[in-house]
Amino acid sequence: MKKVEDGQTTVYLGNSYEKNVTANTVTTYYYAGPQRVAQRQATVVSYSVGDNLGSTSLTTDANGAEVGRQKYFPFGAPRIQTGTLKWVLS
């Protein structure tokens, strides 16, 4: 699948691989069953921690340091976001 948005062209292969053709970046996503648990962009790995409903609520770097946090309103609308959390409603 291909998406063009805001001048950026992104190509997707399933839900595990995306390439931003414009920026020439590749992101690979890793899963434990249906839950996305990690992503790699170049040599940078980050990990996703889910809340009790399975939504991403915390992202950490490879050392376990928090890089982003997300909280939600009922029915999933983002309420609070801190840091650089790429994963929303995984």
pTM over 0.75: no
- Over residues 77-87, the pLDDT tens digits come to 777 777 765 55
Confirm if 48 and 57 have CB atoms less than 8 A apart.
no
Alpha carbons 69 and 87: distance in angstroms, whole number: 10
- Over residues 44-87, the pLDDT tens digits come to 999 988 777 777 788 899 999 998 888 888 877 777 777 765 55
